[in-house]
Amino acid sequence: GPNGFAAGVAAQHSQDYSAWYGSIPGLKVVSPYSAEDAKGLMKAAIRDPNPVVVLENELLYGLSFPMSEEAQKDDFVIPFGKAKIERPGKDLTIVTLSRCVGQSLVAAEQLKQKYGIEAEVINLRSIKPLDVEAIVKSVKKTGHMMAVESGFPSFGVGAELLALTAEYAWDYLQAPPVRVTGAEVPTPYAQKLEEMSFPTEQL
């Protein structure tokens, strides 16, 4: 169901439950970005005999995404725990989810145009189980890691991603991993303040 901030829904309806649900043993948690993600993950959730939480950002509902021929087939399913490389790169690994995937893709293009930095953007799709292998493989290649999410910084998905990177890819890091998150404040109702409280695609 709906997850995270939308547009003018203030502190009462802007909570991001990715980390909340992700901390529960035995619970699977997914967060689609594109139409293909939504279809493939929802079908996987329906077919799974155990509880699955599907977290969707409301701001994605009005967007259109291309669908590959494979995704249009009746038997198209995305397995849990499999991230997707939305943009390949060699200089920086950006690990993100949900609406932040689109923002990260825009930011990655800006990095290339302005600074010649080739960022690899990884769409998690699955929060739990997490595709640690894909993240570590990318960090080994780029040597740099950034986690991007719209949730709050304390005990969040970004914090978990940084911890896992430090545990499994420490020797390959050329700089400390960093995270971009929502601000540690109750989400404002005023639109301008709300915009200042969450990540954007602007560098």
Pairing of strands 126-128, 28-30: antiparallel
- Structure-block tokens of residue 105: 């893709």
Residues in Cβ contact with 30 at an 8 Å cutoff, skipping those fewer than 6 apart: 41, 44, 45, 52, 53, 54, 55, 80, 125, 126, 127
| pLDDT higher than threshold 80 for residue 203 | no
Q: Is residue 1 part of a domain?
A: no
Q: What would the pLDDT profile of 113-171 be if each residue is shown by its tens digit?
A: 999 999 999 999 999 999 999 999 999 999 999 999 999 999 999 999 999 999 999 99
Say how many domains are in the chain: 1
User: For position 22, which CATH number holds?
Assistant: 3.40.50.920
Residue 36 domain boundaries? 18-196
Which of 86-90, 107-111, 149-153, 184-188 has the weakest average pLDDT? 184-188
Reply yes or no on whether the pLDDT at 187 is more than 90. no
Q: Answer whether residue 203 is part of any domain.
A: no
53-57 average pLDDT score? 95
Please tell me the least confidently modeled range out of 1-10, 20-29, 72-81, 102-111: 1-10
Task: Look at residue 104 and tell me if it is in a domain.
Answer: yes
Q: Which is it for strands 178-180 and 145-148: parallel, antiparallel or unpaired?
A: parallel
In a domain, 3, yes or no: no
Evaluate whether residue 146 is within a structural domain: yes
Residue 65 lies in a domain: yes
Mean pLDDT computed over 184-192: 86
Please give the C-alpha separations between residue 192 and each of 10, 34, 81, in angstroms, as whole numbers.
12, 27, 36
Note whether residue 177 is domain-resident: yes
Let me know if residue 201 belongs to a domain: no
